[in-house]
Structure 1
Amino acid sequence: MWPFSSYPELSLNQVADEYDFIIVGGGTAGAVLANRLSAQETNKVLLIERGPVADNWASRVPLLSSDFASDGSRTRRVLSTLQNNLGRPIELYTGSALGGTSRINQMLYGRGLPAEYDAWRDAGNPGWGWEDMKPYFLKSERALYSCDPSVHNTTGEWCNQSTENDGLAFPGFSYVIEASEYLGLPKIADINSPVHPAIGCGMLHFTRDQNQHRSSTYHAFLPVNLALERASRLHIVTRTEAIELIVNSELKSDKLTVEGVTLKSSITTEQRTVKARKEVILCGGPFGSPHLLMLSGIGPALHLKEKDIAVVKDIPAVGSNLQDHFGVSVAFEVPMSHSLLSLQKRPWIFFIELFKYLVFGTGLLLAPVLQMALFASSTLLDDEGLPKHKKATVKNENESNVLPDIEIMPVSVSSPKYFRTTVHGYYQMAYDSTDCPETNRGVFSFLNVLLHPQSKGTVRLSSANPSDPLVIDPQYLSNPSDYAPLRASLKLTLRLRDRMLKQGYPLKDFGVPDGEDDTSLDKFICKRNRTTYHYSSTCRMGPSNGKEDGGVVDEELFVHGFGNLRIADSSVFPWVLGTHLQAPTVAVAEKCADMILLRDLIS
C-alpha cells in the first residue's frame, strides 16, 4: 500500500482521554509492543513518538538511510560531556522516528551468546536465561536464507538476511577471511547459532527484507496496512513528547500507581494529560526512559532535590550504569575502487550503483560498509596479538568457556566524524579534513570494539525543564581495565594487516598506532575512537537491594515500587551484551508483551 496511503498518525488534540495501555516511545522496542498489545481487539493502545513517521523512499534504501549518510530527519544527535580520557566530547546518536534507531542503524542482527543471558538470570533476574529468551528471538524472526530451523524462524514479521548470500562487495573482505583463518580464527558458519563457536570470523546478518529495503521495527511491526486496520484501537501520535508521569502517591497498597502521562506537542504549544486504565510502558531508550522517570520524581533522591523536583520514589540506579561498546578505528589506504568512498569521490559510481539497486536489488546501496566480524578473546592472545594456540581446534577453544571480549569489524570506509550532507540532491558521506587519505585513494579500516566494558557513565538532568538537554557522561575508559583488551585487539588487527600484505593486498598505513608498546597503543586508543551507538543499562534490571546501587526494574520489568509502570528497551539490560543491541531489544519487547498479556488474561 505504501507510499500511496497516508499513515494514520494522530495529532495530540485527536488523542482520546484514556487508554488501556500507554507506550511512551515508538522506537525499536515500542513498535513491537504496540503491535503485540493491539493484537487483542479489546485493548485500546496509545503509542507516543517524539519524532515523525518520516517514511520516504530514501528512508528504506539501506545505505541512504543509515546514520552516517542520512539527512538527519530521523536522527537525534546529542553531545556528551567532555570525556576526560579522550580530551573532547563525543557525538551520540539515537533514532527519532517511528522505529527509532532501527531506522538509522547498520541493520545488524546479532543475538549474543547464551552464557550472557544465563549470567543475567544468575545475577538475580529469574526468567532471563538463554532458554527463556530464545523463543522471543524466534517469535518475530523471518530469516530469508538457508538456515537451521531449530535455531532460526522463517515466518515472523522481522526480516533478516545473511551477507553470505550477497557476495563480498570489496576485495579487502576476502583477504580478511583468509588472514583470520591463517592466524587461527576459524570461520563461524552462523554467528547467531548457539551450537557454533563463539571465537572466529563470521558473516553478519542484516535486517533487510525480500525487496532489499531496510526492515526496521516500524516497517516490520507497524506498516501502514496494519496501522489502518487497527486504527480504532491503536492510536499513534507522533511529534509528541511525554514530559511527566502522573503518580498517585496516596498508597492504597504497597505499590505506587501511574494514573496517566502528560504529553506535549513538539510542533504546537498544546499540552494535555492522558489516563492509563491498566499500564504505562516506557520505551524511550537508554536516554529517554531515565529522563522521563527523573522528571517525574523517580530516581536518585539527592539529584532530584538538586533540581528542585519533588521525590516520588528514590531509586538510585535511575540514569546510572550507562554502558556503550567503545570503538577504536585502525585505517589503511587502498585503491579507490576497493572502498565505499568511491561513491563520494567518483559521482558516476553512485549513479551506476543506483541503477543496479533499482533494477536488480544489488550493489553498494545495500550498505556493504561491513559484511563480517572477527570475535576474539584478549586472554587467548599472546603479546604480539596472535592466538596462543593457533592450531587449537574449535572444540578446544569452546571448552575453555572463554567468551570473546573484542570484536574486530572490517569496514570499507574510515570512521566518519561528520554526517548528513547532501550534494546535488543525493547523500554524501563527509569526513573530518584530518581523517581523509589522498584524493585518489580509498580507505579500508578495522573497527576494534570493546564488547565488555567495565567503564560506566551516567544520564542526569540539567534542569527540571523537560525541554532542556540531558547531561550524558559515558565516562569512556574511566575504568583502567578497559585498555588491556583494546591493546590486544589493536595488535591482532596489525597481525591481520601483516598477513594481508603477505597475500599481496595493497594496504598502506594511514591511521595506525606509532608503536606496539602500551604507551603508543593507549595514546592511539584515546585519539581514534568513536561510539558504536550501543547505549544500555541506565534503568537496569535487578533486585532493588542488589549490589552497588541496585536495579531499577524487577524481572517482570516493573519499576521497583510500582504496580503498573514497566520499562522495555535496552536501558533494562543488567549490563551491555557482547553483541549488537537491536535484536536483544526486540526480544525484550516481545517478552514484555507476553508478560503484560498474560497478566491481563489472569486478571
Structure 2
Amino acid sequence: MWPFTTPYPELRIDELSDEYDYIVVGGGTAGCVLANRLSAPRPSGTAAGKTPRVLLVERGLVADTWVSRVPLFSSDFASDGKRTLRRPMRPQAALRGRDMQAYSGAVLGGTSRINQMLYTRGLPEEYERWKEALGEEAEKEQWGWEEMKRCFLKSEKADVQVEGVHSTTGLWRNRTHADFYFRGFNEAVEAAKEVGLPYIPDVNSPTHPPFGCARLHVTIDEHTHRHSAYDAFLPKRLALERTRAGTLHVCTGTIVERLVTERSEDGRLLVTGVVLGPTVEGKGVRTKSRGVRVAREVVLSAGPFGSPQILMLSGIGPAEHLKELGITVVKDLPAVGSNLQDHFGVSVGFNISMWDSLLSLEKWPWRFLIELVRYLIWGTGLLLVPVLQLAIFTHSKLLNKRGLPTKTEKAFDENLPDIEIMPMAYESSDSAIGQYIPRTSGQFSFLNVLLAPASRGTVRLTSPDPRASLSIDPAYLSDRADLPPLRAALKLSLRLRDRMRARGYAMRDATVPRSERDEDLDAWIRTCNRTTYHYTSTCRMGRLDDARWDGGAVVDGWLRVYGVGKLRVADSSVFPWVPRTHTQAPTVAIAEKCAEMILGDE
C-alpha cells in the first residue's frame, strides 16, 4: 500500500472492490495522468468531500526494468519488443498492397515507454483551430491555445523555467541536449539555414516562427532515465502521498471486455460498470471475467485502437458494422473507429562514415562497451540520446519547383507547417528497400513526414470476441492531395543533401528516387515509406453534424460520448485531426484537461 514497498496495490481481478467512483480504462500515456489526478487527495472542506476511489485497468504489465529506463535501449526499435503491441494493418492499396504494422505500448505507461521521448507541443494556431470543430460557445471556451498551454505547463517539469513557456513545478520532466551527438545533425542545421530555414532556439516557445529547424526536447529525467507517463505520474519506485493508500487500485494484465449500460428512468443511456477479463485466455489462466460497478464515470484512455474497440464491443458505434457481427446496438454512433489518421513518412537514405552513424554500435562492439561505460558512470553518450534530435519544418507552398524555400505572396496565408523532415543517423525506412543500404558503411537518412494528411482510415472489429484482432486500415495516400506535399519534402531533402555535400560532408546516395520527376517521386513515395506511430482521431471531438468528417464526431467539447451518460474518452483518439506535431505532449495535455473537467463536475 502507498507509500511502502508497493506505492499502489496491484490487484488481480478477483481482488478488486465491487464498485469504484471512477474507472480509467487503459494505463497508457493518458491513463497514467488521469489515474494520478483523479485519485489525488481533495482539499479539506471542499464540496467534493471524501477523495473518491479510482480503478485503473491496463492490459499490459508494469515491466519496470533497468533496460526499460535506458533511453536508447527502451525505444521500440532497439528493444526486444516485449513492451510493444504490434497489430497488423490491412494491406495498403495505394502502397502496392504493402503489409504494415501499427505499434503501441503494451505496458503501464503505454507508448510513452517505447517512443522516441519527444516533447513537442505544436503551434498555438493548431489549438485555436480545434475550436472550429466544436458547436456551442461553451464548448469552444474549453479549448484553444491558452487552455492547452495551461495544461502543458501544469504537467511540465522542464530543465529551465521560462515564464509562460516552460514550467519547473510539474511532474513530467523534459530537457534538451546541449549538443548533437552526430556531426550530420550539425551539418543539416547549417544546410537548412543556408536554404532559408532559420534555427529556432526553443521549438516549444509559442512565439517561434512556423518554419525553420529546431533541436527537439525529450522526456529524460535528472538520472538520465526515460521519463514516461508511468515514471512521472504512477512511479512504483517512488512513494506518493500516504493519503492515497486507499484511493487508487491498479489492475494490470486485464482488459475491459465491454461496458455495462442501462437506461435510466427518464430514458437516458448510462454506463454503470465494466466487465473485466484477463488479457490472455488459455491454458493456465484461471481468472474469470467479472463485473465492476462505477458510481460516477468511466473514462476510456485505451488509445486510438483500444478506445473505439471497447465502444464497439459495447454496442456503441456504426450500427451496420455492429449488426454484421451480431452485437446489439445500444447507440448508433458512426464516427466511432472512423477518421483514423497518422503522419505518413517517406525516407531517403545515404551512406556516410561509420563513426558518425548509430550503426557503429552494432558494427563495433568495443564502441558499444565504451558508450555503456559513459552512460553508467557519467550519464552521457549515445545510450542517452534518442535517434531523433532535430526537426526541419516548413510548408510545401513555400517551396519552388526545386524544393527550395521562396518568398511569394501565396505563402503568407500559411501559418502552420505541412511537412517535417527529421534527419537520422541510421536508415529510417521500415520498408524492404531500406534493407538494400550496404551495412559496411554508416547510414544517414531524412524522414519526410506529412503533417496534415487528407487521407483518413478506419478501425473496425473482426469479431465480438474482445481478444480478437482488429481490422486497422490507415488508408495511406487514399487521397491524392497527400502526394504534392511529399514530393516537395523529398526535393527539399535532396537540396539539403546538396548543401551538406558542398560543405564537405561525405554522403553517397543509397536509397533515393530515380529522378525528381513527379512520376518517379510518386513511385518512391509508394515504395520507401513507414508509419510514424501518430495514430489519432478514431473517437474525435467535434460536432455530430460536421459532414466534413465521417460520422461527424464521437465526443463533445467536454469529452463526453454523445448520447451516453457517465462516459468520456481522453487519449489521442479524441484529437479532431492529427496535430502537426508529435503526439505525446498533446496527449498528456488532453488527459490533464479531462481530469479538470471531471473534478469540476464533482
TM bin, normalised by shorter chain, reads over 0.9
3-state SS of 2:539 partner: coil
Letter in 1 for 2:156: E
Q: Does 1:257 align with 2:270?
A: yes
Query: Take 2:350 and 2:59, find their aligned partners in 1: how far apart are those partners?
Result: 40
Question: In 2, distance between residues paired with 1:305 and 1:227?
Answer: 46
Cα distance in structure 1, aligned partners of 2:265 and 2:522: 56
Write the letter of the residue equivalent to 1:350.
Answer: F
Q: Which moved more, 1:539-548 or 1:398-407?
A: 398-407
Alpha-carbon offset, residue 546 of structure 1 = 2.2
Of 570, 574, 585, which residue of structure 2 is paired with 1:568? 570
Q: Which residue of 2 aligns with 1:281?
A: 299
Residue in structure 2 matched with residue 474 of structure 1 by the alignment: 474
Give the deviation of 1:399 after TM superposition: 5.6
Query: Equivalent residue of 1:175, what SS?
Result: helix
Partner of residue 161, structure 1: 175
Question: Which residue of 221, 225, 232 maps to 1:220?
Answer: 232
Alpha-carbon contact 1:227-1:234 (below 8 Å) kept = no
* Alpha carbons 1:453, 1:482 under 8 Å: kept: yes
Instruction: Report what 1:378 is aligned to.
Output: 396
Paired position in structure 2 for 1:180: 192
Does the CA contact (< 8 Å) of 1:368 and 1:412 recur in 2?
no
Offset from partner CA, 1:148-188 (integer Å, 9 cap, x none): 2221101110000113x2x1111101110110000000011
Partners of 1:513 and 1:524 within 8 A in 2? yes
Quote the Cα distance in structure 2 between the aligned partners of 1:397 and 1:143.
37
Aligned to 1:240: 254
Paired AA for residue 48 in structure 1: V
Question: 1:141 aligned to 133, 156, 172, which one?
Answer: 156
User: Hey, what's the Cα distance between the residues in 2 that align with 1:521 and 1:434?
Assistant: 16
Code of the residue aligned with 1:149 in structure 2: it is E
Indicate which of 388, 402, 406 corresponds to 2:415: 402
Partner of 2:80, secondary structure, is coil
1:110 equivalent in alignment to 2:125: no
Matched AA of 2:38: L
Alpha-carbon distance in structure 1 between the residues aligned to 2:453 and 2:433: 30
1:594 is aligned to 2:596: yes
Q: Is the 8 A contact 1:197 1:398 kept in 2?
A: no
2:84 matches 1:69 = no
Instruction: Give the Å deviation of 1:252.
Output: 2.4
Deviations 1:170-213 (CA, angstroms, capped at 9, x unpaired): 11011101100000000112111111111001110001111110
Letter paired with 1:32? V
SS of corresponding position for 1:460: strand
Pick from 286, 290, 296 the counterpart of residue 314 of structure 2: 296
**2:56–2:248: 8 Å Cα contact kept in structure 1?**
yes
- Cα distance in 2 for residues equivalent to 1:434 and 1:369: 17
CA–CA separation in structure 1 for the residues paired with 2:72 and 2:315: 41
User: Which aligned pairs between 1:437-586 and structure 2 lie closer than 5 A?
Assistant: 437-547=437-547, 548=549, 549-586=551-588
1:488-531 CA-to-partner distances (Å, cap 9, x unmatched) read: 00000000000111101000000101000000000000111000
Query: Residue 259 of structure 2 contacts residue 271 of structure 2 at CA under 8 Å; is this kept in 1?
Result: yes
Answer yes or no: is 1:132 the counterpart of 2:147.
Answer: yes
**Contact map agreement 1:198 1:398 (CA 8 A) in 2:** no
**Of the candidates 355, 376, 383, which is equivalent to residue 358 of structure 1?**
376
1:56 aligned residue: 65
Paired with 1:374 and 1:33, the residues of 2 have a C-alpha distance of 33
2:29 maps to 1:28: yes
Alpha-carbon offset, residue 254 of structure 1: 5.5
* TM-score, reference length from structure 2: 0.93
Q: Quick check: 1:111–1:580 contact (8 Å CA) kept in 2?
A: yes
Gap change, CA 1:434 and 1:216, over 3 Å in 2 = closer
In structure 2, what is the Cα distance between the partners aligned to 1:535 and 1:440?
35
Partner of 1:171: 183
Q: Deviations over 1:327-358 (max 9, x none)?
A: 00111000111100011111111111010001
Partner of 1:97: 107
CA distance in 2, matches of 1:253, 1:143: 49
Inter-partner Cα distance in structure 2 for 1:340 and 1:70: 15
Q: How many Å apart are 1:400 and its aligned residue? A: 4.2
| CA deviation after TM superposition for structure 1 residue 6, in Å | 4.6
1:17 aligns with 2:18: yes
Deviates more, 1:281-290 or 1:64-73: 64-73
1:16 and 1:26 map into 2 onto residues whose CA distance is 18
Contact 1:461/1:471, CA 8 A, preserved across alignment: yes
| Cα distance between partner residues in 2 of 1:397 and 1:354 | 51
CA contact (8 A) 1:333 1:444 kept: yes
Provide closer, same or farther for how the CA distance between residues 149 and 341 of structure 1 changes in structure 2, counting only shifts above 3 A. Answer: same
Higher mean alpha-carbon deviation, 285-294 vs 63-72, is at 63-72
> Does the Cα contact within 8 Å between 2:434 and 2:511 map onto a contact in 1?
no
Distance 1:448 1:137 in 2: 27
Give me the whole-angstrom Cα distance separating, in 1, the residues matched to 2:516 and 2:410: 26
Identify the range of structure 1 (408-417 vs 53-62) with the bigger mean alpha-carbon deviation: 408-417
Deviation of 1:104 (Å): 0.2
Question: Per-residue CA shift, 1:296-348, capped at 9, x if unaligned?
Answer: 00000000000000000000000000000000011100011110001111111
Shift in alpha-carbon separation, 1:520–1:398, aligned structure 2, 3 A: closer
SS in structure 2 at match of 1:373: strand
Does the C-alpha gap of structure 1 residues 457 and 501 become closer, same or farther in structure 2, counting only changes over 3 Å?
Answer: same
Contact 1:24/1:47 (8 A) holds in 2: yes
Which of 85, 89, 102 aligns to 2:94? It is 85
Amino acid at match of 1:376: T
Over residues 243-301 of structure 1, what are the superposed CA-to-partner deviations in whole Å (9 max), with x where a residue is unaligned? 110000x2423631101000001352421000000000000000000000000000000
Kindly indicate whether the alpha-carbon contact (under 8 Å) linking 2:181 and 2:385 is maintained by their aligned counterparts in 1: no
What letter corresponds to residue 66 of structure 1 in structure 2? S
Aligned residues: 577
Distance 1:486 1:434, change over 3 A: closer
Where 2:184 maps in the other structure, the secondary structure is helix
Number of the residue aligned with 1:424: none
| Letter paired with 1:407 | E
Q: 1:63 is paired with a residue of what secondary structure?
A: helix
Following the alignment from structure 1 to structure 2, what is the Cα–Cα distance between the partners of residues 434 and 587? 35
RMSD: 1.9
Contact 1:542 1:550 in 2 (8 A): yes
1:510–1:466 CA distance, 2 compared to 1 (3 A): same
SS at match of 1:520: helix
Match in the other structure for 2:47: none
1:340 to 338, 353, 358: 358
Q: Distance in 2 between matches of 1:144 and 1:301?
A: 49
Aligned residue number for residue 48 of structure 2 = none
Secondary structure at the counterpart of residue 118 of structure 2: coil
- Residue 468 of structure 1 aligns to a residue in which SS? coil
1:51-108 Cα offsets, whole Å, 9 max, x none, are 0000000000000000101122211001100100112121110001111000000000
CA distance in 1, matches of 2:324, 2:385: 46
In 2, Cα distance between equivalents of 1:543 and 1:433: 42
SS at match of 2:370: helix
